[in-house]
């Protein structure tokens, strides 16, 4: 089994190859290493290999790891289900929250970020796979959420996040990612801070790059399976 350093190098090389193939700028693509369920030592190894962005899907696990790893330039991404009553636990540490799709979540992030004198970058989760279990708002609900967040001082909505259906049907994946990209395009005229498209995981990130992803959430290709 390759080391985390080698796996990370291979992933970055694959991203670079895909970006060149589809005429994208590699510098515009951020690799978020999904470290959920992985021990602190593995995150340390990835950090020492140059990785700086890490994604967690459990709020208390993010809190525990962020308090254990106090590197000044590490960036923590909350990518899992957001429980409003637990936002207070991650507010002192999290830099990006990818899974916001309710006004009350925005309100709570604003409140807790203000208490910690921080600004938190947010992505609105859009349900692009038409699967209820994945959560997210409808594309038509994005403008209302953007308007709700606009006056906030400690929350900045920077883009959208979506997950395609887990399928071998590549055209179906393309369609889902294209829907997210088009939703961003139609809303960033009024909200120019919108730039990020968080889409693509270990199984479909090549397609995501082709459709304009700026953030890739890759875990197993770097850290191995659970």
pLDDT in tens, 11-26: 999 999 999 999 999 9
In this prediction, residue 1 carries a pLDDT of 72
What residues does 53 pair with on adjacent strands?
75
In this prediction, residue 188 carries a pLDDT of 95
Nearest-5° Cα angle at 110, 137 to 181: 35
| Position 42 pLDDT exceeds 80 | yes
Residue 207: which pLDDT band, with cuts at 50, 70 and 90?
very high
Domains of the chain by residue range = 4-223
Residue 2: which pLDDT band, with cuts at 50, 70 and 90?
confident
* Mean pLDDT, residues 171-183: 97
In this prediction, residue 130 carries a pLDDT of 86
CATH topology of domain 4-223: TIM Barrel (3.20.20)
* Mean pLDDT, residues 54-80: 97
In this prediction, residue 226 carries a pLDDT of 63
3-state secondary structure labels for all residues of the chain: CCCHHHHHHHHHHHHHHHHHHCCCCHHHCEEEEECCCCCHHHHHHHHHCCCCEEEECCHHHHHHHHHHCCCCCCEEEECCCCCHHHHHHHCCCCCEEEEECCHHHHHHHHHHHHHCCCCEEEEEEECCCCCHHHCCECHHHHHHHHHHHCCCCCEEEEEEECCCCCCCCHHHHHHHHHHHHHHHHHHCCCCCCCCEEECCCCCCHHHHHHCCCCEEEECHHHHCCC
| Position 132 pLDDT exceeds 80 | no
Average pLDDT, the chain: 96
| Position 225 pLDDT exceeds 70 | yes
| Position 131 pLDDT exceeds 70 | yes
């Amino acid at each position: 089994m390759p080391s985390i350093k080698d796996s990370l190098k291979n992933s970055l090389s694959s991203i670079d190859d895909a970006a060149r193939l589809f005429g994208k700028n590699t510098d515009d693509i951020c690799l978020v290493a999904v470290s959920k369920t992985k021990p602190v030592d593995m995150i340390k190894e990835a950090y020492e290999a140059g990785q700086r962005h890490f994604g967690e899907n459990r709020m208390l696990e993010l809190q525990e790891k962020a308090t254990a790893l106090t590197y000044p330039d590490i960036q923590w991404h909350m990518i899992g289900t957001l429980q409003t009553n637990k936002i207070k636990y991650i507010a002192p540490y999290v830099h990006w929250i990818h899974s916001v799709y309710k006004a009350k979540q925005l309100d709570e992030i604003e409140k807790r970020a203000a208490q910690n004198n921080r600004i938190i970058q947010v992505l609105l989760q859009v349900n692009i796979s038409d699967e209820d279990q994945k959560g997210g708002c409808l594309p038509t609900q994005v403008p209302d959420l953007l308007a709700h967040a606009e006056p906030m001082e400690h929350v900045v909505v920077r883009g959208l996040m979506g997950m395609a259906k887990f399928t071998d049907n590549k055209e179906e994946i393309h369609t889902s990612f294209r829907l997210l990209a088009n939703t961003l395009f139609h809303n960033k005229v009024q909200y120019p801070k919108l730039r990020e498209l968080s889409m693509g995981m270990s199984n479909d990130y090549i397609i995501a790059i082709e459709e304009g992803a700026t953030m890739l959430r890759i875990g197993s290709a770097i850290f191995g399976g659970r």
